[in-house]
Structure 1
Amino acid sequence: MKTNTHILVIDDEPQMQRALRTILNAHNYLVSTAATGEEGLALAAAEKPDVIILDLGLPDMDGVEVAAQLRQWTQIPTIVL
């Protein structure tokens, strides 16, 4: 079954990015990844994903700050890890 649902994973751990990408791709989701909050915010603005999976512990900013900045301009559903 083909889906056009796009999920953005914002997580600095390569193992978690790989695991989530593998699982989500197996279910036919389109997946983008970002390793920093800044990169995640830029990708969210550019790609307009349907869902964001967000890690709270990022190297450049707290995941809570990323979520707060996202909420200033979008209501994309966000799942926090």
Structure 2
Amino acid sequence: MKIVEVWLRLESKLKIFWQKSVMALSASSELQVWQKRDRNGHIYWRGYNPITGRSACFGSEAEMRMWIEMQYYQEM
């Protein structure tokens, strides 16, 4: 059983290391926008601005576009 415990601890530490590595390598100052679906199949939009740390959620693409424009003009 000792080998299994050691393996589980190592596996957990490797997962944490991998997640932190991916986050560090993918860090960027560009807006991040993605489309999602809720459990009923409705589409919604999520956005994140890594410069300000602000995030947003909208029910339409038009609302998301307005948010993107607002983020751009706030940085100027």
TM-score, length basis structure 2? 0.29
Larger gyration radius, structure 1 or structure 2: 2
TM-score, length basis structure 1? 0.28
Q: Of the two structures, which has the highest relative contact order with CA contacts closer than 8 Å and spacing of 6 or more?
A: 1
Report the structure, 1 or 2, having the larger helix content.
2
